[in-house]
Amino acid sequence: MTFEDSLEEVDPTVAEAIDNERERQESTLDMIASENHVSKAVLEAQGSAMTNKYAEGYPGERYYGGCKYMDEVENLAIDRAKELFGAEHVNVQPHSGTQANMGVYFSVLDHGDKILSLSLSHGGHLSHGHKVNFSGKFYEVEQYEVDPETGRVDYDEIAAHAEEFDPDMVVSGASAYPREFDYARLTEIADSVDAYHMADIAHITGLVAGGVHRNPIDDGADFVTGSTHKTIRAGRGGMIMCKEEYADAVDSAVFPGAQGGPLMHNVAGKAVGFGEALTDEFQDHAQQIVDNAKVLADVFSENGLSLVSGGTDKHLMLVDLRESHDDLTGLDAEEALEDVGVIVNKNTVPGETRSPQVTSGIRVGTPGITTRGFEEEQIETIGQLIVDVLNNPADEELKSEAAEEVQRLCDDFPIYA
Ligand SMILES: *Cc1c(COP(=O)(O)O)cnc(C)c1O
């Protein structure tokens, strides 16, 4: 065994696990709303010698020698992100979306300051102040919820809540909210109590970049955080965008505040993925993600499934199973669909009565299957198939036919040809 031997030769066990995972991805439909498939180019950038290099600091002001090419790729990632989003300042070093949020909190909040955000069980994120997360331990957090009737956030109620709570930061954005936020209104609410507005676009970074979802930068948000692996296909990681006035505070909050050396192989992946997102093809792709979600939501609704808020504006929908299938839990649904090769996740729904391990809903997204090339025709097929499985979760014959149909779709639409 030498230093140059392949993974296959050096570590066949890990090599096999990687092959198996790739095969699992090829032979199932990834409808988890937060997942996607990156291009071979992004994979190549991420699996590169960039992983060897320390580049603490920022382009032009590193704490290590030999950073010429680090500066080159980081500047490319930053410049492309600025162009994509119209941002004044961009930091591409956060290791994840959660780290991006940490960077923003650390930049302008002190221990014990107040955050107003959407609750996790109504679609928010752990890093928005949940008690098991650092954000819930370091800050005083109060949360808004969606109206159980409409499934939408109620801005008058948030305004009243802000008035009473007097937060230092208002957070918008969510992991399981099928509608657009009114960012302009949230900026206005934050301004009215002299708070910052942070918009977390983790799920919709690609939709904003693709011009098919409102851009909170245009609506006055002070900070916009994102993940780079969900609807934008730039590899696993996070990013922060902000007004120029917060640039220094954000940069020093990320490094040295919250992180050490950046993951430069991932920064290289971000540069490549952002470059791809600047193309016309990506704009069409982003539109297709949303079009596909609308078709899927229609198939579900026409077949009697109840969707939180009645539909979707973006890439995901939340099926509330309590109306149509009271004895089928989110966990049951997730497992029945996995049996046929459709991968979704169980999800709590507004007014949830079951535990987060069981739940009464599933979250279904279109980014991954749109990347595979699915358009309306395939979406109708897969939508009907999902409905049939949910209606007959114990019918093994129906499920084995459904599994064959899923295999046909996977074969016809490979991820990596
Ligand atoms: C996915 C997500 C994040 C980031 O998650 P990481 O797993 O830390 O990358 C942050 N905020 C929201 C709203 C998300 O959905």
For the chain, how are helix, strand and coil distributed in percent, rounded to 5?
Answer: 50, 15, 35
Say whether both 303 and 207 belong to one domain. no
User: In terms of domains, do 219 and 291 share one?
Assistant: no
The pLDDT of residue 374: 98
**Cα dihedral 348, 97, 414, 20 sign:** negative
User: How far, in Å, CA of 403 to CA of 78, rounded?
Assistant: 43
Residue 374 zone, left/alpha/beta (φ > 0; ψ -120 to 50; rest): beta
In a domain, 262, yes or no: yes
Per the CB < 8 A criterion, the answer to whether 396 and 14 are in contact is: no
**Ligand 1 pocket mutation pick from 119, 223, 227, 316 by most atoms within 8 angstroms of CB:** 227
Q: Which atom of ligand 1 is nearest to the CA of 99?
A: 8
Q: CA-CA distance, 367 to 334, in Å (whole number)?
A: 18
Distance CA 287, CA 293 (A): 10
**Model pTM greater than 0.85?**
yes
Residues 6+ apart with CB under 8 A from 400: none
Please check whether residues 105 and 247 belong to one and the same domain: yes
State which of 277, 302, 323 marks the end of a domain. Answer: 277
With a 6 A CB cut-off, is 217 part of the ligand 1 pocket? no
Query: In the beta sheet, which residues pair with residue 362?
Result: 319, 346
Q: How much is the average pLDDT of 280-294?
A: 98
Provide the terminal-to-terminal Cα distance of the chain, rounded to the nearest Å.
31
pLDDT at residue number 326: 87
The answer to whether position 17 is within a domain reads: no
Distance (angstroms) between ligand 1 centre and the Cα of 316 equals 15
Q: What is the pLDDT of residues 377-403, one digit of tens each?
A: 999 999 999 999 999 999 999 999 999
Coil/strand/helix, residue 240: strand
Residue 27 placed within a domain: no
Does ligand 1 lie within 6 Å of residue 33's CB atom? no
Q: Is the peptide bond before 350 cis (omega within 30 degrees of 0)?
A: no
To the nearest whole percent, how much of the chain has pLDDT over 70? 100
> What span, in angstroms and rounded, lies between the C-alpha atoms of 265 and 104?
23
Give, in degrees to the nearest 5, the angle at Cα 164 between 203 and 149: 50
Q: Are 56 and 63 in contact (CB under 8 A)?
A: yes
Count of domains for the chain:
2
pLDDT value at position 23? 97
Residues 294 and 354 grouped into a single domain: yes
Among 234, 261, 277, give the residue marking a domain's end: 277
- Domain limits for position 64: 45-277
Q: Is residue 359 part of a domain?
A: yes
Q: Report the nearest-CA residue for atom 1 of ligand 1.
A: 202
Residue-averaged pLDDT of the chain? 97
Instruction: Give yes or no: residues 343 and 259 share one domain.
Output: no
Query: Do 154 and 193 fall within a single domain?
Result: yes
Domain-embedded: residue 263: yes
Measured in Å, residue 323 CA sits from the centre of ligand 1 at 29
CATH code of the domain in which 311 resides:
3.90.1150.10
Structure tokens at 203: 């799920």
Domain end marker among 250, 277, 304: 277
pLDDT computed for residue 2 by the predictor: 87
Amino acid letter at 358?
V
Amino acid letter for position 137: K
Q: Where is 332: in which H helix or E strand?
A: helix 330-339
Q: At 118, give phi and psi (nearest 5°).
A: -80, 135
Q: Give the pLDDT band of residue 148 (cuts 50, 70, 90).
A: confident
Which residue bears the tokens 């991420």? 46
Same domain for 244 and 108, yes or no, is yes
Does the pLDDT of residue 1 top 90, yes or no?
Answer: no
Same domain, 144 and 249: yes
Shared domain for 366 and 270, answered yes or no, is: no
**What tokens does 61 get?**
């002001």
pLDDT at 36: 98
Is residue 133 one of the residues assigned to a domain?
yes
In a domain, 252, yes or no: yes
Ligand 1 atom with the smallest distance to the CA of 174 is: 13
For residue 3, is it within any domain?
no
Mean pLDDT to the nearest integer, 121-137? 95
Q: Give the model confidence (pLDDT) of 196-255 as tens digits.
A: 999 999 999 999 999 999 999 999 999 999 999 999 999 999 999 999 999 999 999 999
Give mean pLDDT, residues 287-304. 98
Could you tell me if 265 and 329 lie in one domain? Answer: no
Report which ligand 1 atom has the smallest distance to the Cα of 96.
9
- Ligand 1 atom at shortest distance from the alpha carbon of 237: 9
Residues 161 and 252 in one domain: yes
Residues 213 and 297 in one domain: no
| Rounded Cα distance, 353 and 274, in Å | 41
For a ligand 1 pocket test, name from 127, 236, 263 the mutation site with the most ligand atoms within 8 angstroms of its C-beta.
127
Give the confidence band of 54 by pLDDT, cuts at 50, 70, 90: very high
Per the DSSP assignment, residues forming a β-bridge with 320 are 306, 361
Q: Check which CATH number belongs to the domain holding 142 and give it.
A: 3.40.640.10
